[in-house]
Structure 1
Amino acid sequence: MTERPSARAVIALVTDDWTPEEEPAPRPADAVDGPLAWAGYGAARAGAARRTGEDESVLWGTATVGGRRCVLLAFEFGFLGGSLGRAAGDRLVAAYRAAVERRLPLVSLVATGGSRMQEGMVALAQLQRVAAETVRLRAAGVPHVAVLRDPSTGGGWATLGAGADVTLALPGAQVAFAGSRVRPADADPAAYTAEEQFAHGHVDAVVPPEALRPTLSLWLRLLAASAPGTAPVAPAPPPHALGGHGSAPGTGWEAVRRARAGSRARAGAYLDAYFEVRAAVSGDRAGGVDPGVECGFGIHDGRVVAYAAQNGGATRPAGFRTAARLIRLADRLGIPVLTLIDTPGAANDAEAERAGAGPAIAEAFAAIAAARVPVTSLLIGEGGSGGALALAAPGNTWAAPDSYFSVIAPELAAAILKRPPGQVPATADQLRLRPQDLVELGTVRGIVGQPEAPSV
């Protein structure tokens, strides 16, 4: 079995420098056998201290990562399995509060087996303390990035790890609420890995150790760029139109055909053109990932913009929930949002209904309606009914020339009206779904043009 790196080794791996905080003296009861007077607990702590050189399972201080300051805490797994007890809880609370007071992002390097049984319910109650500090951190608009090492189980995963704004994990790490010794005998071991947690929407990325420092540096740059409440947030400008036609379509059916053309620019091309650099958040934190929706943060024209982009397919419940999660996070951090709309509509198969299509769409509508930061939307292709409107900003939605927006697809409208297929184009005209129709109706602000060619 490969030896796990110490907390200080991981700190050295990801930071340019680190200054530990001076810790208070242990509580008298902890120096003996703890709050439960558990026989041998004091000796076990002393042995752990000799082996690791640490006096508790949690270390914290201030650090620089890629030139960016943060409060950083790390678990020492060699100290009683990185378990959470009263003293460790004191240190976690101190780290969270320092991040709020100093207006510095928090980085947590997690490696823990859970709560310390030798301290009983006193240990378990530390999770409530961490949850309360998480609420304070969010209310203050201070970002939190967690890195899940091996293992990240029990309450450490269910509070610090899963409660972070962005959650990264090392390859092969155990990531699960249930530790290895308390799982059902017939449990699938893959379900308890970082890779599986990523696949099911609970982790944003699996990052190899050599990429951890630049990845953390980028996230600190993206999430800590704004100071919520200090000044009005300017909206993100809509992107220029890419490729296709420079003029608006002549008929409704032409608009539909343009938007459905395989050669039309998709969300990935728009994001590449708009952002200098970007990083993705992944998953809805409810067991789902929709590859048809890209969400994250990027740098545009020197400032941070959050984005949620549909890439042309039917949007699944996980996509709406991930977009809502992204918008709520951007709102807490004072970062403007850009949404790119391109979907024939919400997925309507049985699986989507069982996964909560209706509630997920409602969540996306509510996230935009509640956002205090400005949201800018650009219709880049198909705008199919409520599945498209759920990502549209009221009063600040724009359209590309190769797009349409409709209450229903013209084929479905014709079918409902019992019209023959030959009447579909005429039905498209009646729906007034062209970009210029949408401007006239007041449902979009305007039609974006293509970028001007540089003068020679």
Structure 2
Amino acid sequence: MSDDPTTAREAIALVTDGDFDELPFAGGPPAGDGPLGWPGYSAAHARARARTGESESVVCGTGLIGGVEVVLISFEFRFLGGSLGEGTGARAAAAHALARARRLPVVVLPATGGSRMHEGMRALLQLQLLAGESARTRAAGLPQIAVLRDPTTGGGWATLGAGSDVVLALPGAQVAFAGSRVRPPDADPAAYTAEAQLAHGHVDAIVPPEALRDTLGRWLSLLTRPAEGPVAPPRALGTPSPPAASGREAVARARHPDRPRAAAYLDAHFTLRAGISGDRAGGVDPGMLCGFGRLPDGRTVAYAAQCGTATAPSGFRTAARLVRLADRLGIPVLTLVDTPGAANGPEAERAGAGPAIADLFAAVATARVPVTSLLIGEGGSGGALALAAPGNLWATPDSYFSVIAPEAAAGGVRYDGGPTAPASRRPRRARRRPGRRGALSSTLSGALSGALSAPVAAGRPGAGGQMPPR
């Protein structure tokens, strides 16, 4: 069991700065024993009202978190197990409507066992209602954050919980679609926890109660203050050096163990950042860092950064999730490209490497917000290109882009010799070839310490040695 605030109002008090303005609701208790005439339902509803002091299983209203006004939807588990009935759905729907009318983020604090059996199909249909309200709020460009309390199961998890943009959870909380009474008798209890959902890409972070207010405040600050227009790439890090004289040298530089990696670039570029985790399809790739960062001017940029490893399908899907979320919220995107290529083992193929790469290509291509890309290391084939912005791709001195990894190229053309030497000599290096349309074109201006990286896409915006405006 988690260290969870017991009541809906305790949960609200835990995360808000102070005052909470409850949303009034005119509806009363169900008539008689409800739509099914469930024996004893009216009496059970009355006992729940008396025990909790609430009129339904959810409390909705507005409050401040980190100085940002939000709409809160907090579940009362002591009220019939926090179950979703018609009254619950009506209140949550009204809260979402208020959020859209006032352009406010939504924070959901679920603690629910699922649909209310006493109301039959009318209760089950609330899942469609809540999913629709959540989708309309997303379409309006408003962020939604869920904090999963103990337990969050059934339809509450499958709508307001899993349907949120950012999903946080309390340690040890039960989180699952299957409630505790409907699981197989031999099921491993650990599979139905927040920690298991985090490990399989369905939760972004586990947050202890004492850190919730600050964590939510950080997220709300980041998601509600987007930067404007295209963002400049980070400054090149590392030891000053001239551009590589050959393809072999470029590959060696990119693979040097002391070369600055994605985390160093993100730490240097942002004053604050918060990461999302997982592809929402069962996978997590630690080699793809995704999240939102604050620039020195206080504005937010989304980032997706490869860490120099072969990117797994879950990494591509997480990056696509990040790009689409940023696009919906109007937040510009920065991508850091650094991979020898997409993971190519049997597990990657079974996990859908091709479809995952295609999905990321599509997300970047259709983004309405500006996307800026910086090549900081290896640019290995389509696994790197999928993360690169068409027309706004820059490169550091310690990087190269290639149609295929040198080893794979050597194998493909049947050269003999060392693992990188022949392939890095023979294939034409595409990192910078002035005047060649479609090749990476511009000479690098990053030889001086701290100098900005150089643009690399021929005939595209940003080419010709001019940096885009900050």
Per the shorter chain, which TM-score range? over 0.9
Q: Is the 8 Å Cα contact of residues 305 and 338 (structure 1) preserved in structure 2?
A: yes
Matched, 1:451 2:450: yes
Higher helix share: 1
Q: Helix, strand or coil for the counterpart of 1:379?
A: strand
Q: Which whole-Å deviations, capped at 9, do the CAs of 1:177-204 have from their partners, x for residues lacking one?
A: 0000110001111110000100000000
Q: Which whole-Å deviations, capped at 9, do the CAs of 1:359-398 have from their partners, x for residues lacking one?
A: 1011110100010001000000001001000100000000
Shift of 1:297: 0.2
Of residues 238-247 and 314-323 in structure 1, the stretch that sits farther from structure 2 once superposed is 238-247
Cα 1:328–1:425 change in 2 (3 A) is same
Q: Which whole-Å deviations, capped at 9, do the CAs of 1:375-430 have from their partners, x for residues lacking one?
A: 00000000100100010000000000000000012222122212111595353244
Matched, 1:328 2:327: no
Q: Which whole-Å deviations, capped at 9, do the CAs of 1:231-259 have from their partners, x for residues lacking one?
A: x9411210111003431101110000000
Paired residue for 1:235, among 230, 233, 242?
230
Residues in 1 aligned to 2:114 and 2:434: alpha-carbon distance in whole angstroms:
55
Task: Give the alignment's TM-score, normalised by structure 1.
Answer: 0.94
Structure 1 counterpart of 2:144, which letter? H
Q: Helix, strand or coil for the counterpart of 1:437?
A: coil
Q: Is the 8 Å Cα contact of residues 249 and 434 (structure 1) preserved in structure 2?
A: no
Structure 2 counterpart of 1:53, which letter? G
Residues in 1 aligned to 2:435 and 2:340: alpha-carbon distance in whole angstroms:
20
Cα 1:254–1:440 change in 2 (3 A) is farther
Paired residue for 1:367, among 347, 358, 363?
363
Residues in 1 aligned to 2:437 and 2:377: alpha-carbon distance in whole angstroms:
19
Residues in 1 aligned to 2:396 and 2:434: alpha-carbon distance in whole angstroms:
11
RMSD of Structure 2 on Structure 1 (CA): 1.8
Q: Is the 8 Å Cα contact of residues 410 and 422 (structure 2) preserved in structure 1?
A: no
Paired residue for 2:290, among 267, 291, 295?
295
Residues in 1 aligned to 2:439 and 2:423: alpha-carbon distance in whole angstroms:
19
Structure 1 counterpart of 2:428, which letter? R
Matches within 5 A, 1:190-339: 190-226=190-226, 233-301=228-296, 302-339=298-335
Cα 1:444–1:105 change in 2 (3 A) is farther
Could you tell me which residue of structure 1 aligns to residue 459 of structure 2? none
Structure 2 counterpart of 1:307, which letter? Y
Residues in 1 aligned to 2:419 and 2:81: alpha-carbon distance in whole angstroms:
70
Identity fraction in percent: 64
Q: In the comparison of the two structures, how many residue pairs are matched? A: 446
Structure 1 counterpart of 2:281, which letter? A
Residues in 2 aligned to 1:327 and 1:26: alpha-carbon distance in whole angstroms:
43
Cα 1:96–1:130 change in 2 (3 A) is same
Structure 2 counterpart of 1:415, which letter? G
Cα 1:137–1:372 change in 2 (3 A) is same
Could you tell me which residue of structure 1 aligns to residue 377 of structure 2? 381
Cα 1:445–1:155 change in 2 (3 A) is farther
Residues in 2 aligned to 1:207 and 1:445: alpha-carbon distance in whole angstroms:
46
Q: Which whole-Å deviations, capped at 9, do the CAs of 1:118-153 have from their partners, x for residues lacking one?
A: 000000000000111122111110110000000000
Residues in 2 aligned to 1:106 and 1:438: alpha-carbon distance in whole angstroms:
50
Structure 2 counterpart of 1:387, which letter? G
Q: Which whole-Å deviations, capped at 9, do the CAs of 1:245-289 have from their partners, x for residues lacking one?
A: 431101110000000000100000000000000000000000000
Paired residue for 2:410, among 410, 414, 429?
414
Q: Helix, strand or coil for the counterpart of 2:167?
A: strand
Q: Is the 8 Å Cα contact of residues 174 and 193 (structure 1) preserved in structure 2?
A: yes
Q: Is the 8 Å Cα contact of residues 71 and 105 (structure 1) preserved in structure 2?
A: yes
Could you tell me which residue of structure 2 aligns to residue 69 of structure 1? 69
Task: Give the alignment's TM-score, normalised by structure 2.
Answer: 0.92
Residues in 1 aligned to 2:40 and 2:293: alpha-carbon distance in whole angstroms:
52
Shift of 1:439: 8.1
Could you tell me which residue of structure 1 aligns to residue 12 of structure 2? 11
Residues in 2 aligned to 1:148 and 1:448: alpha-carbon distance in whole angstroms:
48
Q: Helix, strand or coil for the counterpart of 2:111?
A: strand
Structure 2 counterpart of 1:331, which letter? D
Residues in 1 aligned to 2:71 and 2:161: alpha-carbon distance in whole angstroms:
16
Cα 1:442–1:240 change in 2 (3 A) is farther
Matches within 5 A, 1:19-38: 19-26=21-28, 30-38=30-38
Q: Please, which runs of 5 or more residues in structure 2 have no aligned partner?
A: 453-470
Cα 1:272–1:448 change in 2 (3 A) is farther
Structure 2 counterpart of 1:433, which letter? R
Residues in 2 aligned to 1:142 and 1:3: alpha-carbon distance in whole angstroms:
27
Matched, 1:341 2:337: yes
Residues in 2 aligned to 1:444 and 1:278: alpha-carbon distance in whole angstroms:
31
Residues in 1 aligned to 2:380 and 2:90: alpha-carbon distance in whole angstroms:
52
